[in-house]
Amino acid sequence: MALIREPKNVDFTVQSKPWTEEELRDFRKLMNELKAKNAKRKRSTSTTSKKVVV
């Protein structure tokens, strides 16, 4: 298994501050675009993998 080994001199700490309404709105817009792209890719993959019966 490939563990993510942080360097010994790096302490991976997260302390997030609340995102503003504008940041959240822009993030959600981008996220929805990415989700739609993923769904489209998934649909096209499942369509192309279907067997065609004549």
Binding positions for other proteins, rule: CB under 8 A = 1-6, 8-17, 19, 23, 26-28, 30-31, 34-35, 38-39, 42
Please, which residue, 30 or 44, has the CB nearer to other proteins?
30
Please, which residue, 5 or 51, has the CB nearer to other proteins?
5
- In single-letter form, the type of residue at position 50 comes to K
Long-range contacts of 20-23 (CB under 8 A, 24+ apart): none
Q: List, in order, residues 6 or more apart from 12 with CB less than 8 Å away.
A: 6
Please, which residue, 22 or 54, has the CB nearer to other proteins?
22
